[in-house]
Structure 1
Amino acid sequence: MEEDQIFTGVDVGSTKICTLVGRLESQGNLRILGVGIEPSRGLRKGVVVDLEAAAQAVFKSKEKAERTSGVEIMDALVSLAGANVTSVNSRGVVGVTGRVIDHDDVARAVDAARAIAIPHNREIVHVIQRGFNVDGQEGIRTPIGMHGYRLEVETHIITASAASIENLRQCVAAADLDVSQFVLNPLASAEVVLTETERQMGVVVCDVGGGTTDMAIYVDGDIWHTAVLGLGGNHITSDIAQVLRLPNTQAEEVKLQHGHADPEEIDRRQYFNIQPFGEHEPVQVSQYELVQIINARVEEIFGLVVQEIKRSGYDGLLPAGMVLTGGTSSLPGIRKIAGRILGVPVRLAKPENIIGLSDRLNSPAFSTGIGLLRWATLMREVTPRRNGKHGDPGPRGPEFGTKLEKALEWLKSLLP
């Protein structure tokens, strides 16, 4: 077993902590070697609110993954969410130092794009290279080895609260883990649920989790907009608990057993029993009443998604529609409601091309965790210039591999 082919991802969610250990197979598939799932504690809307409780949950999840995989976990890619995440598109322009564009020229262009004004309390998480312009020629994917005098790079920059990132880093460190990289939830999910055709045509991936709903818009194969909305499946559970006067645990069970997002699909004669606060005997509740509670919150979530798409400026530019994933996307009827509100095609997606434990992980709830592993494998193909808090080129960025460097040296040898 080659250690450099083994990767670990930790999905730190508001509902569960999921640690996955995977290995890249020769055919490009991911083989899941181990999984550790622990109920989330100390987190709210993707943000650490109790460091000790959250660290214990991460540690237990890591231990379970180590036992099932037989692999000692030292570091991992860690998911990032939270309503404090924002994004901006930025361009960087530099003059080419030589007649042939090399790695240093690209690095300087990315530095120029990164030099945006951000508040001192925010931190850059991703600097994702989308494309290049060489002497006015647009649409260049990899400029290394090309001739030119002026190099321009288009980037998508994602920032988050510096305090939130540091708290999450400390939480993971307290679980005896190093963070190799933070990855925004929808970017990780997109790696395992989107097709290349959808990316090219224009699509929004919507990861509806427990505490947040995470969005990423792709146009012409590249990421153009990301956002995190502070509503998710836990808010549906909370609504049920308040209206029906139930403990949260029972409200969650009611949602899973009897929940549906579309009142039009429900027989009004269907009833089920609950045990509300203050009642000594079970009480009958109409399923239609329950579904109306759920529907109101689901419509609010996708109403906010529509607002965010319009705010991004890409409304009407997403012919491939929406790809819906995340744990809450398993709620019956949610796809129909989303399609009705957005007015675009909507499909439910779960991770593809995975081997091992697939029966256990074959669910939209594990898209982010498996996406972290896929992100890690793609990052192996990119020579990282710098990681950590200064961002990363991203798996969709240019690939500075050995072959390109050799080609560059060959081109230079031809110059007088």
Structure 2
Amino acid sequence: MAKREVRNLLVGLDIGTTKCVAVIGQVMPEGGVDIVGHGEHASRGLNRGEVVNIDATVQAIRRAVENAEHMANCRAQSVYVGLSGQHIQSGNSLGLAAIRQREVTDRDVDAAIETAKAIPMPADRRILHVIPQEFVIDGQRGIQDPVGQYGVRLEANVHVIHGSSSSIQNLSKCVEACGLRVDRLILQHLAAAEAVLLPDEREAGVVSLDIGGGTSDIAVFKGGAIRHTAVLPVAGNHVTNDVAMAFRIPAQQAEEIKIQFGCALPQLAAAHEEIEIRGVGEGSRRLSRLTLAEVVRPRYEELFRFVRKELQRSGWYEAIPAGVVLSGAAVQMPGVADLAEEVFELPVRIGVPQQVTGIDEVVGSPAYATAAGLLLYGRHAQPRNDAARNSGGAGFALQRIGEWLKGNF
């Protein structure tokens, strides 16, 4: 079958603790992204966002990308990769620059941002993102685009995100071992927020909370700009572990029961509803769905209280009237949003990808927020002709084979 003529493709790769997701999207003329392929595979090579088994991670990436390629009927050459983990740190910084010609140019902006990047950090750290929050010209604050304005002194307030060089290199190595080039590493917080937040929410003050299997990623926006990011080591896998321990069942079965029958609020589960489970080394037995909910709720409540404490510690809790937007596979459980609203005492909604069309399974699910957000984020950072490389062809197929042989022999 001939490859269909699809151009301007982007590939996003969300490598999580429990699964690896690949999505392929076509950039539309109006600026949105049409999802034309997606694939996923169980991931066993990461722990809380960091690679602990290279072979298992490579296997998960390869299978997820192959599934997405098959659906989209194309070949991926380069990918935008999501990154998270407890090694991620961030902070705000101020940069200064003299305006050379009295009128601000791109060169002046770059100079101010460069000075803002010059923060002390250990040699084993690598800067991932430097995101402008606002610019100040001669004391005038709140300027988003200073180019063309007159003044003498330019200040740049930026948010700097950095991570462990070794963790970043390990993840990049796994992607490259699959014959793929890393277009850019993008913080998963930013990708999820790009997909689910509305402009009005960003302006008013909002938190994007993406709950995966190993970590919960927090991103705070105010005045249209990123203000704070954090990673918490409590997420969906902790709920699974609680279910497994409470009912003495394997983790895989606990995960299946959690997804199929789990409920974050006991009042939403009827006591007469029963679930059949198979214990280790024993026959099947039955338990009520209410009992399951009573195990699940405390862990979710603990997670949300940790997030609230982090927001209070950072000083942003009182500055987010738009509330919290939840995303990630772990927020699909009934009652999660209601419990979050109860703990945060703020408006809470479930976020699904915006500005994307195509496959309903992707565009209508909070589980794919990060993957879809990688495409949207990559759309802005896309180098010229980069997307066209993901369109397939015999020459590229031979190149992929050559790269695979080189990497394995």
Task: Say yes or no: does 1:54 pair with 2:57.
Answer: yes
What is the CA-CA distance between 1:256 and the residue it aligns to?
1.3
Task: Say yes or no: does 1:184 pair with 2:187.
Answer: yes
C-alpha distance in 1 between matches for 2:65 and 2:235: 25
What is the CA-CA distance between 1:380 and the residue it aligns to?
4.1
C-alpha distance in 1 between matches for 2:328 and 2:306: 17
Query: For residue 398 of structure 1, what is the aligned residue in structure 2?
Result: none
Task: Say yes or no: does 1:140 pair with 2:143.
Answer: yes
C-alpha distance in 2 between matches for 1:59 and 1:353: 27
What is the CA-CA distance between 1:94 and the residue it aligns to?
1.1
Query: For residue 369 of structure 1, what is the aligned residue in structure 2?
Result: 371
Query: For residue 100 of structure 1, what is the aligned residue in structure 2?
Result: 103
User: TM-score by structure 1 length?
Assistant: 0.89
Query: For residue 126 of structure 2, what is the aligned residue in structure 1?
Result: 123
What is the CA-CA distance between 1:201 and the residue it aligns to?
0.7
What is the CA-CA distance between 1:85 and the residue it aligns to?
1.1
Query: For residue 35 of structure 1, what is the aligned residue in structure 2?
Result: 38
**Contact 1:59 1:176 survives alignment (8 Å):** no
C-alpha distance in 2 between matches for 1:272 and 1:68: 35
C-alpha distance in 2 between matches for 1:34 and 1:268: 41
Secondary structure in 1 aligned to 2:318?
Answer: coil
Secondary structure in 2 aligned to 1:284?
Answer: strand
Equivalent positions of 1:221-260 (< 5 A) are 221-260=224-263
Per-residue deviation, residues 254-286 of structure 1 (Å, max 9, x unmatched): 11121000112222233221111131x211212
C-alpha distance in 2 between matches for 1:335 and 1:98: 53
Q: Quick one: structure 1 residues 114 and 2, their matched pair in 2 at CA, closer, same or farther if it must change by over 3 Å?
A: farther
C-alpha distance in 2 between matches for 1:360 and 1:135: 47
**Contact 1:261 1:331 survives alignment (8 Å):** yes
Equivalent positions of 1:250-399 (< 5 A) are 250-279=253-282, 281-380=283-382
Match of 2:9 among 6, 20, 36: 6
Could you tell me which amino acid in structure 1 is paired with residue 107 of structure 2? D
What is the CA-CA distance between 1:361 and the residue it aligns to?
4.3
C-alpha distance in 1 between matches for 2:70 and 2:202: 37
RMSD: 1.5
What is the CA-CA distance between 1:176 and the residue it aligns to?
1.1
C-alpha distance in 1 between matches for 2:59 and 2:75: 18
C-alpha distance in 2 between matches for 1:286 and 1:35: 36
User: TM-score by structure 2 length?
Assistant: 0.90
What is the CA-CA distance between 1:312 and the residue it aligns to?
1.1
Task: Say yes or no: does 1:112 pair with 2:126.
Answer: no
C-alpha distance in 1 between matches for 2:250 and 2:6: 48
What is the CA-CA distance between 1:175 and the residue it aligns to?
1.3
**Contact 1:9 1:21 survives alignment (8 Å):** yes
Q: Quick one: structure 1 residues 230 and 59, their matched pair in 2 at CA, closer, same or farther if it must change by over 3 Å?
A: same
Larger deviation: 333-342 or 353-362?
A: 353-362
Task: Say yes or no: does 1:72 pair with 2:78.
Answer: no
Per-residue deviation, residues 349-371 of structure 1 (Å, max 9, x unmatched): 11123222124542100000000
C-alpha distance in 2 between matches for 1:263 and 1:137: 53
C-alpha distance in 2 between matches for 1:2 and 1:100: 43
What is the CA-CA distance between 1:150 and the residue it aligns to?
0.5
C-alpha distance in 2 between matches for 1:381 and 1:179: 13
Secondary structure in 2 aligned to 1:339?
Answer: helix
C-alpha distance in 1 between matches for 2:220 and 2:270: 37
C-alpha distance in 2 between matches for 1:266 and 1:38: 31
**Contact 2:82 2:374 survives alignment (8 Å):** yes
Match of 1:23 among 16, 22, 26: 26
C-alpha distance in 2 between matches for 1:141 and 1:352: 23
**Contact 2:128 2:163 survives alignment (8 Å):** yes
Could you tell me which amino acid in structure 2 is paired with residue 112 of structure 1? T
Secondary structure in 1 aligned to 2:317?
Answer: coil
Gaps of 5+ in 2: 385-409
C-alpha distance in 2 between matches for 1:381 and 1:65: 22
What is the CA-CA distance between 1:178 and the residue it aligns to?
1.3
C-alpha distance in 2 between matches for 1:177 and 1:359: 25
Provide the identity percentage.
38
Query: For residue 405 of structure 1, what is the aligned residue in structure 2?
Result: none
**Contact 1:204 1:215 survives alignment (8 Å):** yes
Could you tell me which amino acid in structure 2 is paired with residue 345 of structure 1? P
What is the CA-CA distance between 1:375 and the residue it aligns to?
0.5
What is the CA-CA distance between 1:76 and the residue it aligns to?
0.9
Could you tell me which amino acid in structure 2 is paired with residue 137 of structure 1? Q
C-alpha distance in 1 between matches for 2:279 and 2:140: 66
**Contact 1:128 1:156 survives alignment (8 Å):** yes
Gaps of 5+ in 1: 383-416
Match of 1:193 among 183, 196, 209: 196
Say how many residue pairs are matched. 380
Q: Quick one: structure 1 residues 62 and 359, their matched pair in 2 at CA, closer, same or farther if it must change by over 3 Å?
A: closer
Secondary structure in 2 aligned to 1:144?
Answer: coil
Per-residue deviation, residues 164-222 of structure 1 (Å, max 9, x unmatched): 11110111111111111111112101112111110111000100111111110001111
C-alpha distance in 1 between matches for 2:233 and 2:268: 28
